[in-house]
Amino acid sequence: MDNLIKDLNDAQKKAVTTTEGPVMAIAGAGSGKTNVLTRRIAYLINHIGVPKDQILAITFTNKAANEMKSRIASLLNERTGMMWISTFHSMCSRILRQHIEFLGYKKHFQIIDDDDTSQLIKSIQKEFRIDPKMIDPRKLKNHVMKLKSEQASLSDYKEPLSDYLSKVYPEYQRRLKNNNLVDFEDLLMLTIRLLKENDDLRKHYQQLFQYVLVDEFQDTNNAQYELIRLLGGAHGNVFIVGDEDQSIYAFRGANIENIRRFRRDFDNPKVILLEENYRSTNTILSAANDVIKANKDRIEKTLFSSKGDGDKVVAYKGYDQRDEVHFVAETIQDLVHEGYRYEDMAVLYRTNSLSRLFEEAFMQKRVPYKIVGNTSFFKRKEIKDMVAYLRLIVNPLDDYSFERVVNEPRRGIGAKTMERLNAFAKEYNLSYYEAVNDSMNPLGTRPLKKLKGFTGLIDRMIATLKSADFNTLIDDILNESGYKEALEQDDKGDVRFENILELKTMFKESENTYQSEDKLTVLTFVLEDIALKSQEDDEVDDNSVTLMTLHSAKGLEFKVVFIVACEQGMFPLHRSLSDPKEIEEERRLMYVGITRAEEKLYITNAKSRQHYGEIVANPDSMFLTQIDPSKIRFEGLAKVSQENTQRYQSDYRQTKTFRAKKESLESRHANDIDKGDKVMHKAFGSGVVISVTGNQCKIAFSKEHGIKTLVKDHPAIKKVQR
């Protein structure tokens, strides 16, 4: 016993050794909760003499469950493979495998995943002829799951939604059961039903699990809480460990009220506060305490550390978002020179679309990085799709881009049609674009009509580019192609659309930089830049800075943390500002971000930024203003006096690196052509230069294209050597 608790602090010892009755261990960030959980299980087995199979320990991920098993095996020097240490879903699956026949299912049921569920709902929606424009399949699926998991009533819904659900929900359930299938919600709900409807079975599991332990209790939903109550309510030996200040998953159904429900439903639970943090300096913890104390109705606790005060929190305000990201990149380089490793540092942001600027800056300054929890901005499907459309506008003869988006979104152009088009194009040495418009095309009327609809779209976008800005061009592509409508039907459409809006920001910045150039030239430069950045992203070093959302950062720790874009509307998000509950969740997210930092914390923002193609000027995040200023070292515009702002702006503009990129591209594509020279153009074919004036030239192409006025140094033009 001494070996199990001798190195624990007093609160941890109490949490390990208080074995009887309900116990709430309110474990602050970095307070060693996993250590407490595993020591408690080992203590129950070694000191109290509880058989291993009479302990149920539940957590939220397989990784966490395996980590607990490994630690307990090490503490006990025994195998733990058959112990009931698992996720909620794994525990339920294990129970249902033994008893699901009581519910009318066959023993060897199969589990369908979220994608399968979505497809099944769409199929049923189609069968009942429910127009996806009237009700989004994604929302319909969410309501079906809500009816199941929250046991809501159809009377809670208004028509026509209630009418749709009255058809779709029972048909969905019927198909699952007829095919002996269960979804992830069923794993929980069927187990609850099994325990409620069968008294003997419920008593069996209550007697089997003499001690119930639940990790990350703040993340439980209503169904998971009900399972805990059914399994542990009889004897009351339920130990929960969690931190309501880190409850950040309401969007997944987590109910922060469960901590308060536990205090009501279980008889006088003992509350143990784990407040000593083993991760961060006291200055960082004080900042976290300052922020979170603004939340109401929480169990009061104050994190502290024996690691000393450490450095002040750095708050940096940039002139714009470019200034902000370059500060982060340069600070990382400085810290590496001081002895830190890239892998010691993380950049945390509220939404994935913000990663793009940091990826660009890190590439430019040769800072190795990795994206956690998402694909690199330039490799996300929606970005690659939009880039393919734009490449076709620059060069309609680009077969690779043509093939990528000819049926994206779906236009009824199938694989067989493309095979026939490909065979014809190869036989006559044509591009797909040319083959579609060739009078000898052997395709039937219907497929040809669809293909010409697509090439007509590209032609219209080429015309749009001549008269409109890039924001309008991308909007037209989204609307006329049907891509935006397809995103509205996609489960992840909101996030994907945000990424496209960030792409608009990138093009808007480029448009401002290359004001003297024609739009086709600018588009060519930016597409080349994207291609180079996408290629560079393939090289990921283990010793890399981590880029991730604040949600993805939960459970992790880094010596140095940057929390970026801390402005009202960016973090907290605009949509949360009118809802006190959502603001409290955003504040908990900030608390999670702050407490990821061990030694240094940087909070950054910008005076103004290009956001989704528009210039916005947001005030500082309320979370930043809630931190005691005496704990902060202000830098950038937060420090610079008003009279120095004009000089600061001028200096910053002079250091913009995009202009250097432009000059290198211009010199790379310089064409030494003159009147009378023969040239070859990627889209218009061969031609003859009939005049050159400054940076423009007139070229006579074939009768089909006529005389064109083009930028002399455009990369699409090549002089034919005589």
**Could you list the active site residues?**
33-34, 215-216, 246, 596
User: Amino acid identity of 100?
Assistant: I
- HSE-CB at 419 with a 13 A cutoff on CA atoms is 3
Tokens of 83: 């112990």
How many distinct helices (H) and strands (E) make up the chain? 29, 24
Q: Is 272 helix (H, G, I), strand (E, B) or coil?
A: strand
Question: Nearest to residue 110, comparing CAs of 185, 193, 183, 194?
Answer: 183
Contacts of 685 (CB under 8 A, 6+ apart): 701, 702, 705
Question: Nearest to residue 284, comparing CAs of 611, 686, 598?
Answer: 598
3-state secondary structure 115-152: HHHHHHHHHHHHHCCCCCCCCCHHHHHHHHHHHHHCCC
CA 143 to chain centre: 23
Q: What string of DSSP letters covers 366-385?
A: T--EEESSS--GGGSHHHHH
Q: Which residues of 355-391 are buried (b: 16+ CB within 10 A; e: fewer)?
A: bbbbbbbbbbeebbbbbeebebbbebebbbbbbbbbb
User: Amino acid identity of 334?
Assistant: D
Phi-psi region of 676 (alpha: psi -120 to 50; beta: other; left: phi over 0): left
Q: What string of DSSP letters covers 346-413?
A: EEEESSGGGHHHHHHHHHHTT--EEESSS--GGGSHHHHHHHHHHHHHH-TT-HHHHHHHTTSS--S-
Distance CA 59, CA 216 (A): 7
Residue 90 burial by CB count (10 A; 0-12/13-18/19+): exposed, middle or buried? middle
User: Amino acid identity of 634?
Assistant: F
Residue 34 burial by CB count (10 A; 0-12/13-18/19+): exposed, middle or buried? middle
Contact present, 334 and 300 (Cβ < 8 Å): no
Question: Nearest to residue 144, comparing CAs of 131, 128, 162?
Answer: 162
Question: Nearest to residue 483, comparing CAs of 503, 507, 463, 510?
Answer: 503
- HSE-CB at 151 with a 13 A cutoff on CA atoms is 9
Distance CA 177, CA 557 (A): 44
